[in-house]
A and B are shown apart, each in its own frame.
Chain A
Amino acid sequence: MIAIKNISVRAFSIWAAGIFLVNSALAAIPIEHWTQASGLQIYLVQGQAIPMVDVQLDFDAGSRRDPNDKAGLASVSADMVSKGVRAGSADEPALDENALGEAWAGLGARFGAHASTDRLSFSLRSLTYPDLLSRAVALAARQLAAPAFPKDIWLRERDSLIASIKEANTRPATLAGRAFSQAVYGKHPYGFEMTEASLMRIDASDMQAMYRELILPCRAKVTVVGAVDRAQADALVQQLFARLTSDNPARACAALPALPEVQPLDKPADVRVAFNSAQSHILIGQPGYKRDDPDHFALMVGNYILGGGGFVSRLTTEVREKRGLSYSVYSAFEPGLHAGAFTIGLETRPDQAEQALKVSRDVLSDFVTNGPTPEELKAAKNNLIGGFALLIDSNRKLLGNVANIAWNKLPLNYLDTWTQQVESVTVADIQAAFARKLQPGKMVTVVLGPAKP
């Protein structure tokens, strides 16, 4: 056995990773957190082993804030950040998309933006050799502060996006997902969909306006993981945001308008879509829960047992392992600032669709009514607690976890207490939480496939 390791080896691990993992039950990950004068919040985990750093900037500018007639604005604005930078001082000419691409390639670094439903995120990955890092941060700072949003490039990107939307509309997964999303979210922004029509209403000036309002230091959550100490991280972030200023500081960080919540479903919906595909696509679900819900751990552990846990979940056992009905079957929650969907999904040969649907519904309804068995809960805890270190064993994974803490205002010791939180979940907790959150009698069901299999 190599289970018992001597202290010096452990000490080396701790030093090398900059993280502190004696064993999963005693894990302590030193997250440093401070706020700069601008109001900008920084979360840092040092890891000196590899000469690289990852920086993630999160803003409350995800697609949930898209105007409902301009769905896609956050997403396309994020894409357009890489399409050009305005001129700066005299020795800083404007850079077009190609100049930017060449510059990042030449630095061996990466910078980009991406929008999800809740966040508009920027990410920078660079080596930490000082001259390289400072050049990378300087370029990122220009790009963050002064994206050009060139109109001609936007018109080109728009054409290309519309073509890819049309192509996606020929695929069964796109159409099933759309029908599901519309039925689950109704008019909530989580259900907004970028379409040809919504793109045609978006102008480069919309991007500028959104950017001025939402992309400000005082609204930023910044996560840094890698080979920088606190002082270096502070200076790096200072430099990164140095050019990003508001033209109206007084207004700059007024609270953003609250958005409505996802409405619960009041009756079941059975959506059938005729489509000439080799497989029928089945989606079952409803609005789930918000990330700040106190039931989070019970739901997360419960879902591992129901349909989240690899080959050993109930859904995989019943649908795939016992009956061979599907290659992939899963259940998932998507908790966010609003109640993201709970979804069960699978694909199967059309003549088996009704059988697979029935098996999945039976598994769900049994789980919601009776909860897991004590043996299932024990197995889930073994996996989640035993495998905790696998959640944080690289800079990339740490970055995601720490950004999650920053974004969701979780306590700084969230990762340290994670295994205890999992350990404390009981069968009764899961049963009660699922009964509170899920109503199998009022769910949306989408079955997309050939009309007459």
Chain B
Amino acid sequence: MSQHSMKRYALAILPLRCFFWPIITVLVLLLGSAQAQTPAVSAAQTRQFTLANGMTLIVKPDRRAPTAVHMLWVRVGSMDEVDGSSGVAHVLEHMMFKGTPSVPAGEFSRRVAALGGRENAFTSHDYTGYYQQIPAQRLEDVMRLESDRFANSQWSDEEFRKELEVVKEERRMRTEDNPIALMHEALNAAVFVASPYRRPIVGWMSDLDALTAQDARAFYQRWYVPANAAVVVAGDVDVEQVRALAEKYYGTLPSRAVPQRKPRLEPRQYGLKRIEFKAPAEQANVVLAFKVPSLQWQEDSASDADALALTVLSALLDGYQGARLERALTQGPDRVADSAGADNGLWGRGPQLFMLTGVPATGKTAAQVERALREQVQRIAREGVTEAELARVKTQWVASEIYKLDSLFNQARELGTQWVQGLPVDADAKLIVRLRAVTAQQVKSVAERYFGDDQLTVAHLLPQPLDNQRKPRPAPAGMRH
């Protein structure tokens, strides 16, 4: 799931499909470039260690500039919450800035700023992360600060009460004044029955209203244990020095058992679900969510092969200007949509969805767009795809992997998300091998098998007129689900 709530202003977090590939071999194969040579960034060795108390350390040296990024990942997100306390993972993320016995409220941010650093934090369904971007020689300072708050976060009920109001403002801003976000919230609640993915990351407003400081403290005590966390460092650093610092600041924290997780598996869906969502808007909106397999990272697994083929399918539909959906839905005199998209979840701690989305063109209906989106998948199921299309999307991905090396932050983020899924640091290499193996026949086959009615949930946003003199709505419509 790619939705995040951030402590601070919207900082674009990209979808979590993290391909991190050994680039050069693949380039030669895909681009047929005779001149492709080993670049100056040789695949710098990424190293992973387990500290004395069970915490994970991942270090990726990148010596291009004297900066580093330091991230602390905790394998706990909104999916680990229980009903009635939705949003507590994210509220806790906010509270982690509110001090420890040795670092008063607000002081964490002041100290990071004084180091020349930038910082923020993020919460998703699957994980919570904290980061600082710093001059490399300040790494030890932020490791000291971060390990302190990981172990000793402590704040008053009054601080909690104030920050909870900030989080409610965040919910109003991101969700309640945004009809599309409200519709997606309602859609998730309709798609999933047992999976905790059905709850919004930011939490239902009534749960936020009822949340107590003690709820957040209990969540912190339960989940912020060393064996449930990873430190990721990328940048102008020496692996052994970082390892020594990590043992000093993190490895010495007392170890505690990671709580047992209840599986809460999503039961099989038997038949189409459909929601109509009314909101003040001009444009209708259509989302089709198909339940699909999540990559489990097993060799010779038919389900994994399907998950990978579904990702290739999404790129063939929507991976570049002029890909199938754009061509079929948004062009020509009879075009039905102003925009259309496809996205495969691929992996996550919970169940994954393949989403088809569209915005009807003026004069066209949501039903027409829904039909047209499904027709494009059916067409692939009937006719298959061309080798040229396949080569194009693979090439584009592979090039993106080189471009990605330009961002230290993205490299660290990918390593963190891989760790959350329990994948090794060389998961990238294995993933590319398997993705490159996806054939046109496999793509056709998943298009045939995963896009019937029974695993599908459809949402239509039905635009309603604005009434600006009316009193504010007592609660947004999405809250009723």
Q: Which of B34, B106, B134, B406 contacts A396 (CB under 8 A)?
A: B406
A10-28 vs B, Cβ < 8 Å mask (1 yes, 0 no):
0011001101010110000
A99's nearest neighbour on chain B, judged by CB, is B322
A166's nearest neighbour on chain B, judged by CB, is B282
Instruction: Verify A101–B469 contact, CB threshold 8 A.
Output: no
Instruction: Verify B166–A327 contact, CB threshold 8 A.
Output: yes
Q: Which of B168, B322, B405 contacts A102 (CB under 8 A)?
A: B322
Q: Which of A3, A52, A450 contacts B472 (CB under 8 A)?
A: A450
Given contacts A13-B64, A108-B398, A452-B471, contact A279 B172 (CB under 8 A): yes
Chain B residues near A9 (CB-CB < 8 A): 63, 238
Q: Which of A13, A102, A386 contacts B135 (CB under 8 A)?
A: A386
B108-129 vs A, Cβ < 8 Å mask (1 yes, 0 no):
0110011111110000000000
Instruction: Verify B177–A172 contact, CB threshold 8 A.
Output: yes
Q: Which of B40, B395, B472 contacts A49 (CB under 8 A)?
A: B40
Instruction: Verify A347–B173 contact, CB threshold 8 A.
Output: yes
Q: Which of B65, B138, B473 contacts A17 (CB under 8 A)?
A: B65
B395's nearest neighbour on chain A, judged by CB, is A108
Instruction: Verify A164–B238 contact, CB threshold 8 A.
Output: no
B444 CB to closest chain A CB (Å) equals 20
Chain B residues near A323 (CB-CB < 8 A): 162
Interface size on A, residues (CB 8 A): 97
A419 to B200, CA, bound (A): 44
Given contacts A51-B402, A394-B407, contact A171 B40 (CB under 8 A): no
Interface residues of B in 222-244 (CB under 8 A from A): 236-238, 241-242
Chain A residues near B237 (CB-CB < 8 A): 2
Does A109 make an interface contact (CB < 8 A)? yes
A395 to B62, CA, bound (A): 14
A3 to B472, CA, bound (A): 55
A388 to B395, CA, bound (A): 35
Instruction: Verify B398–A170 contact, CB threshold 8 A.
Output: no
Given contacts A47-B64, A386-B115, contact A326 B169 (CB under 8 A): yes
Q: Which of B133, B280, B398, B471 contacts A390 (CB under 8 A)?
A: B133
Given contacts A50-B405, A108-B31, A327-B166, contact A170 B361 (CB under 8 A): no
A278 to B168, CA, bound (A): 11
Instruction: Verify A278–B476 contact, CB threshold 8 A.
Output: yes
Does B170 make an interface contact (CB < 8 A)? yes
Instruction: Verify B468–A3 contact, CB threshold 8 A.
Output: no
A104-121 vs B, Cβ < 8 Å mask (1 yes, 0 no):
111111000000000000
Chain B residues near A162 (CB-CB < 8 A): 362
B136-166 vs A, Cβ < 8 Å mask (1 yes, 0 no):
1111100000000000000000000111111
A216 CB to closest chain B CB (Å) equals 27
Instruction: Verify B135–A396 contact, CB threshold 8 A.
Output: no
Chain B residues near A350 (CB-CB < 8 A): 472
A321 to B392, CA, bound (A): 49
15 more CB-based (< 8 A) A-B contacts, given A127-B27, A159-B338, A390-B134: A49-B64, A50-B39, A101-B326, A129-B36, A162-B362, A170-B179, A278-B473, A324-B162, A327-B167, A327-B170, A347-B172, A387-B117, A387-B118, A393-B65, A394-B64
8 residue pairs bridging A and B, Cβ less than 8 Å apart? A21-B66, A47-B64, A170-B466, A326-B166, A328-B8, A383-B114, A387-B117, A387-B135
- Chain B residues proximal to chain A, CB less than 8 Å: 8-9, 27, 31, 33-37, 39-41, 63-67, 97, 105-106, 109-110, 113-119, 133-140, 161-170, 172-173, 176-179, 236-238, 241-242, 245, 280-283, 319-323, 326-327, 330-331, 335, 338-339, 359, 361-362, 391-393, 395-396, 398-400, 402-403, 405-408, 466-473, 476
Q: Which 6 A-B pairs have the closest CB atoms?
A: A386-B116, A108-B399, A101-B321, A98-B322, A101-B322, A387-B116
